[in-house]
Structure 1
């Protein structure tokens, strides 16, 4: 992990501001989505990359009840359920 030397305080709503230099370096734009992870006593921010909830694939995604599922997973689930899917 690389130390940036930047220290920020939380505001009254628990927010922090990422410095402009850091946003430029990481090519972050206003309204970009970030995922938040916790590892022991560390908070890790990572650019959000939607992926299949079953396999982690990030191609051919379909939104199902707020979750991302790849078409490949849907085919496999249909097979498990004994359903036959006709390809387009």
Structure 2
């Protein structure tokens, strides 16, 4: 485990503030969910990613599909991926 050198106090409601530099570096945005794990005496925070979330957009929809290699794509994510892989005139 790598130390960031950042120390924060817990407030009276049990909250801590994650510094902006850390949030940006880990792509944690306002209203993102964090999953909490405990290992021995360590608390581990990890950005929550639902098991059926699209790898491209992060969307969770009933239309998400699992492809070979367990790649999950939403319809929007599949369209974005196709646009990136195919020349401009073949996706229309």
Q: TM-score normalised by the shorter chain: which range applies?
A: 0.5 to 0.7
Displaced runs of 4 or more, over 4 A: 59-63
TM-score by length of 1: 0.58
Q: Structure 2 stretches of 5 or more lacking a match?
A: 55-59, 67-92
Q: 2-side partners of 1:24 and 1:16: how far apart?
A: 17
Aligned to 2:50: 50
Aligned Cα RMSD in Å?
2.3
TM-superposed deviation, 1:50: 1.1
Shift of 1:10: 0.2
Matched residue count: 59
**Mapped pair 1:26 → 2:26:** yes
- How big is each residue's C-alpha offset from its partner over 1:5-64, in whole Å with a ceiling of 9 and x where there is no partner? 00000000000000011011111110100000000000000010112xxxxxx369778x
- Normalising to structure 2: TM-score of the pair? 0.56
